[in-house]
Chain A
Amino acid sequence: MFAGQPLAPRHEQTISRFGLRSLLPEEVEVIAGPGCPVCVTPTVALDRAVELALRGVIVTAFGDLMMVPATRMSLLEAKARGGDVRVVYSVSDAVEVARRNPDREVVFVSVGFETTAPTTASELLRGVPENFSVMCYHRLIPPAMELLLGIGDIHIDGFICPGHVAAIIGVKAFRIFAEAYKMPTTIAGFEPNDVLLAILMLLRQLRDGEAMCENEYSRVVREEGNLKAQQFIDEVYDIATADWRGIGRIPQSGLTLKKEFEDFDAEKRYEFTSMKHVDINPGCNCHLVMIGKIYPPECRLFGKVCTPQKPYGPCMVSSEGTCRIYYKYGERPKL
């Protein structure tokens, strides 16, 4: 058996932790795409959260965001300078902070993909206190995948799609890649054999000259997805063009709060200092790592200037960040 500890739900973590690349023939390469929400959250979100914290607002955020470098400072540095920044495990915890502090303003930095968007939507639909608001920076996976197909020098032969995102939006949301782009596609779970099976499925498609959208993660993912979660998303958010850190602006790839919820939109509630937001620091190659153009060790800063203790780029921060995963697990020898 593989070590049976619960796995952090990310394909790169599964691949690196269990040395799955070492099981593959040299002809088969598996690269990481832009799948870490912390990595792709634009700096403007963090800069504004820092500004609010230093102005006396209670800023609540997932712990993953705390050390992410921003233009002037990270949320952790803002906390060290006296800002009231609190790590929460969910948006529900952030709402609870607001309820317990009725004389303070509380902002939740709401990031993530289709997986986390329904939870924030659910809280807003249930009703939140007036002193609570949301910085909404949710992003959508399929539009980013479409963008990747348009980057000529990456040459992807198949997609391994995220099982948990598919659990929300369904297999149907990924069919476009096989049907319109003729790209072999599998939806995969996060155990080691899930990933290996997904690779096998893609290789079979290539052998047979087919392009299908197959569901390896059928024990969880359904064709239609989670209709209740989709309903929450539809009721609370509009789809809009959005900026991705290191990648740029992607049409129809973000969620913004609908007009009915704008009273709880922190970016409408507060005014922010106008400033230049720096997404990628000089020398940082996170933007190339995020689109699978290079592996983290190919960045000159990797493991030297940029470490988990002192991350220089966003991909070194979160346990889901590709650079952080490479730093932790490294490359395994070929078997």
Chain B
Amino acid sequence: MEAVERFRNAKIAKEISEEIRRLKPDRKVKFMHVCGTAAGPEA
């Protein structure tokens, strides 16, 4: 559980997003997520 908490930690998110901004490309880039979720009982 502790390991998962690291992936929800806002301080770490800030560090990663700062690193992302440092790596900002000089052109527009587009990433696609293709999630493939399991259908579930919701709705």
Contact = CB atoms under 8 A, between A and B. Distances in A.
Contacts of B35: 9-12, 32-33, 35-36, 162, 320
Contact of B7 (A23, A148, A156, A194): A194
Nearest to B20: A200
A88 interface: yes
Interface string B11-24: 01100110111011
A89 B41 contact: yes
B21 A160 contact: no
Contacts of A30: 30-33
A12 B34 CA distance: 9
Interface range on chain B (Cβ under 8 Å from partner): 35 or more
A10 B35 CA distance: 6
A144 interface: yes
A211 interface: no
Contacts of A97: none
Contact of B8 (A4, A27, A66, A159): A4
A303 interface: no
Interface string A1-29: 11010001111100100000001111111
B34 A112 contact: no
A188 interface: yes
A49 B17 CA distance: 46
A33 B33 contact: yes
Contact of A159 (B21, B23, B31, B42): B31
Nearest to B29: A157
Nearest to B7: A191
Contacts of B16: 193, 196-197, 200
Given A4-B8, A63-B40, A116-B38, A156 B25 contact: no
Interface range on chain A (Cβ under 8 Å from partner): 35 or more
Nearest to A155: B30
A144 B34 contact: yes
A225 interface: no
Contact of A63 (B10, B23, B41): B41
A148 B37 contact: no
Nearest to B16: A196
A193 B12 CA distance: 7
A106 interface: no
A162 B36 CA distance: 6
B31 A31 contact: yes
A2 B8 contact: yes
Interface string A202-221: 11101100000000000100
Closest 6 pairs (CB-CB, A-B) = A35-B35, A191-B7, A33-B34, A160-B33, A11-B33, A23-B17
Interface of A: 1-2, 4, 8-12, 15, 23-38, 62-67, 87-89, 111-116, 141, 144-145, 148, 154-162, 164-165, 188-189, 191-197, 199-200, 202-204, 206-207, 219, 292, 317-320
Given A23-B17, A67-B43, A203-B25, 6 more contacts: A33-B34, A36-B37, A113-B38, A114-B36, A203-B29, A317-B43
Interface of B: 3-10, 12-13, 16-17, 19-21, 23-43
26 contacts: A4-B8, A9-B35, A11-B35, A27-B26, A28-B25, A31-B31, A31-B32, A36-B35, A36-B37, A63-B40, A64-B43, A65-B39, A116-B39, A141-B34, A145-B34, A148-B34, A156-B32, A158-B29, A159-B31, A193-B8, A196-B13, A196-B20, A200-B16, A207-B23, A219-B3, A319-B43
